[in-house]
Amino acid sequence: MATEDRLRTYRGKRDFERTREPSGKAAASGGGEPRFVVQIHDARRMHFDFRLQVDDVLKSWSVPKGPSTDPGDKRPAVPTEDHPLEYEDFEGVIPKGEYGGGTVIIWDHGRYEPLSHDRRGRPVDFAESLEDGHATFRLHGAKLHGEYALTRFRTGQGEEDAWLLVRKGPARAGAHGTPDPRRARSVRTGRTLAQVAADDGQE
């Protein structure tokens, strides 16, 4: 599917005269190793947005509690619309009343290795594995490292699809889950949500 089509839902929800989120009109740079980003979004409900670059868009999930470093934690993840690649760089305030109104910080980012394989251990196309509802990958972020899986456990029929985001591997002593989103700091600017919100008001 062309990027224009894949971003139709994204664009349909937003008024780019009002929000400073990217419209995705810039030329997509799909080459190189795929990227991931985890944003913290202080919207109507606080959540983490987990995004993986697949071709020329960011496949996205809303993860209320955020990714955990503890393999014992199964984190519910609700798919959201594909986002443009430039969204990886978005940190700021979405105006009140707009879609997703609230403050966003870039909590972690980096590249990832697709690891999806079939039952016989043969590698499968990553985009295909997501469509089939089970993808594995290794994150190389500033904060998140190691292997994770995204698994769909309910296909939406009138309801939303439901997925789980889980850290793979043996349980580790000292794993401490996810930090408090209100105290967490941007990997880019070191700012908290409150600081980003305050800075926005001063512009």
Output the CA–CA distances (angstroms, integers) from residue 113 to 52, 110, 149, in the order listed: 11, 10, 12
Choice between 48 and 148, CB closer to Mn ion: 48
Please give the residue ranges that form the binding site for Mn ion (CB under 5 A).
41, 49
Output the CA–CA distances (angstroms, integers) from residue 193 to 1, 33, 177, 186, in the order listed: 35, 29, 19, 8
Choice between 107 and 148, CB closer to Mn ion: 107
CA distance 22 to 88: 10
Shortest distance, position 85 Cβ to Mn ion, whole Å: 17
Give residues with Cβ within 8 angstroms of 93, minimum separation 6. 102, 103, 104, 196, 197, 200
Shortest distance, position 193 Cβ to Mn ion, whole Å: 13
Shortest distance, position 128 Cβ to Mn ion, whole Å: 26
Choice between 136 and 186, CB closer to Mn ion: 186
Choice between 102 and 141, CB closer to Mn ion: 102
Shortest distance, position 118 Cβ to Mn ion, whole Å: 32
Alpha carbons within 13 A on the beta-carbon side of 151:
9
The residue type of 183 is R
Choice between 118 and 160, CB closer to Mn ion: 160
Nearest alpha-carbon partner for 130 in 37, 61, 72: 61
Residue nearest Mn ion, CB atom distance: 41
φ, ψ (nearest 5 deg) of residue 147? -90, 135
Shortest distance, position 47 Cβ to Mn ion, whole Å: 6
Choice between 6 and 41, CB closer to Mn ion: 41
CA distance 36 to 59: 9
In Å, how far from its chain's centre is CA 45?
16
Q: What are 23's two structure tokens? A: 């419209």
Shortest distance, position 179 Cβ to Mn ion, whole Å: 18
